[in-house]
Amino acid sequence: MKLWYGRFQSNVNEAADSFNSSLSFDKRLYACDIAGSKAHCTMLGECNIIPDEDAKLIVKTLDEILNDINNGKCEIKDAEDIHSFVENELVSRIGAIGKKLHTGRSRNDQVALDIRLYLRDAADDIVALLKQFASTLTDIAENNLNTVMPAFTHLQKAQPTTLAHHMAAYAEMLLRDISRFEETKTRINVMPLGSGACTSTPYPINRQRVAELLNFPVITANSMDAVSDRDFVLDFLYSASVAMMHLSRLSEEIIIWSSDDYKYIELSDGYSTGSSIMPQKKNPDMNELIRGKTGRVYGDLMSLLTVMKGIPLAYDKDMQEDKECVFDAYDTLKASLIVINGLMKEAKFNVTRLRECTDGGFTSATECADYLVGKGVPFRDAHAIVGRLVIYCIENGKTMQSLTLDEYKKFGDFDEGIYEAIKAETAIMRRTAPGAPSPDSMKAEIKQLRKQLK
Ligand code: ARG
């Protein structure tokens, strides 16, 4: 039966009924809905708004319903939404007393509470997974302090660095993702119940008590705002979008690095797929899917931003559209984090290949210029000299390492020391500033990462 049947004289149209129903997706909120109802009912009893023994019976029955749903004994079906379902089930079990539960409450503040309870746990869940993945990347960094590889800008080889430096860069992004979700959680963690449909309720309710029972540090300040605010859902979706963007960038690199031309990394069989026609194929589908699914999560954020932009205060049914966005973004980010964490744990970096590729593309050109600066040449002039040296190498099929000293001397004030100066290892060792790739700088960064991941 509809919660609002009294005002209606005939049944709602079948198509309209199914269009209106949110049960197929908001059933995920059942445990939150029951937790919220228990707290509300306990408070109603304590404040003598309903008889204490009625409150106790309702709470006990709600617990039984929760158990039965968890054990598969009670199937969630045949209701407009999860709130209606729980209430109908309660009334079917204890009759008239169950009808007292909704005293001083509206589905508008009820759903606002449910989604906050749900997202509070979801944010914790995502933070835990982000921490795991950041630790995995930090482990890879720690094991590769001396694994030399090229750093790129514009996907052109730029300067020598280490795999530790590259992986720790992603760990830093994940740390910021963690803090974004933690901050989002402080805005989620506000208790809206007691706001009623939009102007609260005349019953002598105790909102602080409900907050205490549900472990919320604060309550919402304005009942209109409380039932119509979904910015905390948008915060969650934005945080999820940024995290997906980071996973997508890493995935893009994994895809490039696992190609035959790069061969920087080999994915384990467990995290690769094959081709139905080309027997040789081992494809990085997981990373492609993460890159692709990033689009969905952005879509979830854009959907809800658009849903919210034109609706007047207070509650409007448009807001029911928040749920599929948030469930989809949460599921997608969660699955992506689990998969990419396992994938990176099992991936093998080709250390020899990374080292070989470091000298290509004149990655030592900056070192060569800095070497001349050390001899008193102004940097801009040194830059131009090395630019001409690079042209000479290209035209004569040489590298900076294979040039003879006589050849070097034609361009400027070079001596034997140039060969040591242009080694990738030298370039890395000399970069000792905080945040730089020298092993000592990286050890310090890794120590900080570990501290923040605790
Ligand atoms: N299913 C609704 C939602 O998700 C619950 C609130 C319904 N409130 C109402 N006044 N119809 O937003």
Q: Can you tell me the distance from the alpha carbon of 301 to that of 238, in angstroms, rounded to the nearest whole number?
A: 6
Q: Note whether 241 and 121 are same-domain residues.
A: yes
Q: Note whether 231 and 345 are same-domain residues.
A: yes
Q: Is residue 162 part of a domain?
A: yes
Q: Can you tell me the distance from the alpha carbon of 109 to that of 315, in angstroms, rounded to the nearest whole number?
A: 9
Query: CA angle, corner 247, sides to 322 and 321, nearest 5?
Result: 5
What's the gap in Å between 326 CA and the centre of ligand 1?
Answer: 16
- 276-285, 339-348, 425-434, 436-445: range with lowest mean pLDDT: 276-285
Query: Burial of 220 by CB count in 10 Å (0-12 exposed, 13-18 middle, 19+ buried)?
Result: buried
Q: Is residue 402 part of a domain?
A: yes
**Annotation marks residue 154 as catalytic:** yes
Cα pseudo-dihedral 329, 332, 337, 339, rounded to 10: 180
Q: Note whether 346 and 362 are same-domain residues.
A: no
Residue-wise pLDDT for 31-73, tens only, equals: 999 999 999 999 999 999 999 999 999 999 999 999 999 999 9
Q: What is the pLDDT of residue 2?
A: 84
Residue 3: pLDDT band (50, 70, 90) is confident
Query: Can you tell me which atom of ligand 1 is nearest the CA of 82?
Result: 1
**Annotation marks residue 246 as catalytic:** no
Last residue of a domain, one of 305, 322, 351: 351
Query: Can you tell me which atom of ligand 1 is nearest the CA of 197?
Result: 10
Q: Note whether 375 and 318 are same-domain residues.
A: no
pLDDT score of 11 more than 90:
no
Residue-wise pLDDT for 175-228, tens only, equals: 999 999 999 999 999 999 999 999 999 999 999 999 999 999 999 999 999 999
Q: Is residue 208 part of a domain?
A: no
What's the gap in Å between 125 CA and the centre of ligand 1?
Answer: 26
Tell me the two tokens of residue 283. Answer: 């494809």
Residue-wise pLDDT for 320-340, tens only, equals: 999 999 999 999 999 999 999
Distance of CA 276 to the CA centre of its chain: 33
Here the CATH number for the domain that contains residue 61 is 1.10.275.10
Q: Is the CB of 364 under 6 A from ligand 1?
A: no
Last residue of a domain, one of 41, 70, 103: 103
CB-CB neighbours of 102 under 10 Å: 18
Residue-wise pLDDT for 81-112, tens only, equals: 999 999 999 999 999 999 999 999 999 999 99
Q: Can you tell me the distance from the alpha carbon of 429 to that of 141, in angstroms, rounded to the nearest whole number?
A: 16
Q: Is residue 89 part of a domain?
A: yes
Q: Note whether 347 and 362 are same-domain residues.
A: no
Closest CA to 309 of 237, 227, 236, 228: 228
Q: Note whether 97 and 122 are same-domain residues.
A: no
Here the CATH number for the domain that contains residue 232 is 1.20.200.10
Q: What is the mean pLDDT of the chain?
A: 96
Q: Note whether 398 and 256 are same-domain residues.
A: no
Q: Note whether 225 and 150 are same-domain residues.
A: yes
Q: What is the pLDDT of residue 251?
A: 98
pLDDT score of 344 more than 80:
yes
**Catalytic site residue from 24, 259, 275, 402:** 275
Q: Note whether 138 and 286 are same-domain residues.
A: yes
Residue 91, sorted as left (phi over 0), alpha (psi -120 to 50) or beta, turns out to be: alpha
What's the gap in Å between 108 CA and the centre of ligand 1?
Answer: 6
pLDDT score of 248 more than 80:
yes
Residue 12: pLDDT band (50, 70, 90) is confident
Percent of the chain with pLDDT over 90: 94
Q: Note whether 56 and 126 are same-domain residues.
A: no
Give the structural domain span for 381: 357-453
Q: Note whether 138 and 225 are same-domain residues.
A: yes
The total of structural domains in the chain comes to: 3
For CA atoms 318, 324, 327, 331, the dihedral sign is: negative
Q: Note whether 152 and 245 are same-domain residues.
A: yes
Q: Can you tell me the distance from the alpha carbon of 158 to that of 367, in angstroms, rounded to the nearest whole number?
A: 11
Q: Can you tell me the distance from the alpha carbon of 236 to that of 239, in angstroms, rounded to the nearest whole number?
A: 5
Long-range contacts of 174-179 (CB under 8 A, 24+ apart): 174/130, 174/133, 174/134, 174/137, 174/243, 174/246, 175/134, 175/449, 175/452, 175/453, 177/130, 177/239, 177/242, 177/243, 177/246, 178/127, 178/130, 178/131, 178/134
Q: Is residue 428 part of a domain?
A: yes
